Structure 1
Amino acid sequence: MDLAEMKHCLNTVYTLWLREMLRYKRSRSRIIGSLATPLFFLIIMGSALGSAMTLSSGRYIDYMAPGIIGMSVLFSSLMGGVSIIWDREFGFLKEILVAPVSRIFTALGKATGGVTAAMIQGTLLMFISGYIGVNYISIPGQLFCILIMFIMGLGFIGMGMALASRIDSHEGFQMVMTFLTFPMLMASTAFYPMDNLPSWLGVPVRLNPLTYGIEAMRWSLLGVSEVPIMTSLLVITIFSSAMIILGSWSFDRAGDK
């Protein structure tokens, strides 16, 4: 690939990223809803369960905050796949897939747009949580947490793209998302420590990539984690790489239908 072709491919990525950002900016209900639900969980559940749970690492609301941020990134990234269904329905998907540019770059443009939206929501939630009383250890830790959101978001947007490329209706996609997101969320360390789990539940929690993303954010924000930070980073990096490859391949195949 020569310099002119690379520039054209990067322009394609930027154009699709900008399109996703404009769509996100215009959807105010999506922005408000994506913040309201996690904050409801954090404030209500954090206060209610905090009075009943005792953690050696500190307050329960502090422990819960990274899990709520992870929940927001999970939901936002997976729902990024909806744009593929919309684009297929209105014919835009065929138009961009016949463009003289590799479909890998086309998929990358849509993925970066979805990940950016997820990062914005996660970052806003992180700052709002700090404002309402969650104690973070440092500003560099918060910046590192944003990087972790990016890595996590890539993995889940790749998963969302892979699923959306094979699902023809919004209703079917919503059903699959509900089937995936809540089991992944509950079978993670978002709401409870890994050491307190029964043995039968410990296995899916340790196999869940969301667990390692949340533990990495918990380490960066609170300085504590049940999983070594290098292990968490390795797992979410491998997971994200695999999902982006799968999502790009599925996106490519979707254009051949």
Structure 2
Amino acid sequence: MILRPTLSLARREMVRFFRQPERVVGSLAQPLLMWALLGAGFAPSFRAPGMEQLSYIEYFYPGVLLMLMLFAGIFSTITLIEDRAQGLMQGVLASPAPRITIVLGKVTGGIGVALFQAVPLLLAAPFIGITLTASGVIWILFGFLVACLGFTALGFLIAWNMESTSGFHAIMSVFLMPMWMLSGALFPLDPSTGWLWTLMIVNPVTHALTLIRAPLYQAPGVFLTDPHYWTALTIAAAWAGLCLLLALWRVNRLERGAPPPPR
């Protein structure tokens, strides 16, 4: 009863993505342009303690992968507003399918779109000096899964009560993007920055980035024995799980007589 409608909604997200060429190009072009431009601009002055051997292009690479997860989560949930405006969401709510299939379908579709974009970008790793192993790729994909789950579920929570896509973009600009920027994607953690370092430490996206970055530079036998990795995994998984549970709770409130979402 849950699996079939969930897969149907997820498939619809994938089909919609491929039928919008401008969305495919935009979601891939923006992270790549930022990677190229920021990498070229900051490369001469990038000096991070303990990372002297890394170029900025190589340091920024995990952040670009994380940005793809962010955009996949955003665009897969912004369609929630469009579906409501077009009447599709009302039809889904009136169907016998459980309400949680809306959340699970959107999240699954967002993860599928994210993997389609991010996996090909992994092919660029050898060209910037990163050697990938089969086991490393598996752990990177696991990091993708946790990060995209968190972004998509959080985006769902925001989009569920939004009345317009312009309002959602405003929230994205002042909330979701800063979470990415303060994750260590643009610059490394530095305790000397004071309050900024504190924000980065409590930011769950910082720990999601660790799940992607660690397998790029270390063998699983190394980072799996590092307590910092397990701390990052615990925090990132808790963030993703909490956002998903809140999204499921928010949708299930309709079954207990709560007012429908605004049209």
- Do they superpose with TM above 0.5? yes
Greater CA drift, 200-209 or 78-87: 78-87
TM-score by length of 1: 0.89
2:205 matches 1:222: no
Out of 6, 12, 15, the residue aligned to residue 5 of structure 2 is 12
Identity of aligned residues (%): 28
Report the counterpart of residue 187 of structure 2 in structure 1. Answer: 192
Shift of 1:75: 2.3
| Contact kept in structure 1, 2:126 and 2:132, CA below 8 Å | no
| Contact kept in structure 2, 1:20 and 1:113, CA below 8 Å | yes
Letter of the 2:151 counterpart: F
Report the counterpart of residue 98 of structure 1 in structure 2. Answer: 94
Shift of 1:145: 0.8
- The residue matched to 1:30 in structure 2 has which SS? helix
Letter of the 1:243 counterpart: C
- The residue matched to 1:178 in structure 2 has which SS? helix
Report the counterpart of residue 35 of structure 2 in structure 1. Answer: 42
Distance 1:38 1:197, change over 3 A: farther
Q: Distance in 2 between matches of 1:34 and 1:26?
A: 14
2:27 matches 1:31: no
Alignment of 1:68-79 (within 5 A): 68-79=64-75
Shift of 1:35: 1.4
Structure 2, unpaired ranges of 5+: none
Shift of 1:134: 4.6
Report the counterpart of residue 3 of structure 1 in structure 2. Answer: none
Distance 1:197 1:45, change over 3 A: farther
TM-score by length of 2: 0.87
Shift of 1:185: 2.1
Letter of the 2:209 counterpart: I
Shift of 1:253: 4.1
| Contact kept in structure 2, 1:164 and 1:173, CA below 8 Å | yes
Shift of 1:109: 1.3
Shift of 1:249: 2.3
Q: Distance in 2 between matches of 1:254 and 1:165?
A: 12
Instruction: Give the paired residue count.
Output: 249
Report the counterpart of residue 62 of structure 2 in structure 1. Answer: 66
| Contact kept in structure 2, 1:161 and 1:251, CA below 8 Å | no
Letter of the 2:207 counterpart: Y
Report the counterpart of residue 4 of structure 1 in structure 2. Answer: none
Out of 208, 231, 252, the residue aligned to residue 213 of structure 1 is 208
Q: Distance in 1 between matches of 2:154 and 2:205?
A: 13
Q: Distance in 2 between matches of 1:220 and 1:138?
A: 9
Report the counterpart of residue 125 of structure 1 in structure 2. Answer: 121
| Contact kept in structure 2, 1:61 and 1:134, CA below 8 Å | no
2:139 matches 1:111: no
Cα deviations by residue, 1:37-89 (Å, 9 ceiling, x for unpaired): 11112122113212211343332222210011111211221232111101110
Q: Distance in 2 between matches of 1:197 and 1:142?
A: 33
Q: Distance in 2 between matches of 1:100 and 1:217?
A: 39
- The residue matched to 1:11 in structure 2 has which SS? helix
Shift of 1:254: 6.4
Letter of the 2:240 counterpart: S
Cα deviations by residue, 1:9-30 (Å, 9 ceiling, x for unpaired): 2111111111111111111211
| Contact kept in structure 2, 1:42 and 1:64, CA below 8 Å | yes
Q: Distance in 2 between matches of 1:101 and 1:166?
A: 21
Report the counterpart of residue 199 of structure 2 in structure 1. Answer: 204
Q: Distance in 2 between matches of 1:198 and 1:153?
A: 28
What root-mean-square deviation, in Å, do the aligned CA atoms of Structure 1 and Structure 2 show? Answer: 2.1
Shift of 1:91: 0.7
Letter of the 2:170 counterpart: M
Shift of 1:195: 2.6
Greater CA drift, 73-82 or 220-229: 220-229
Q: Distance in 2 between matches of 1:201 and 1:254?
A: 39
- The residue matched to 1:106 in structure 2 has which SS? helix
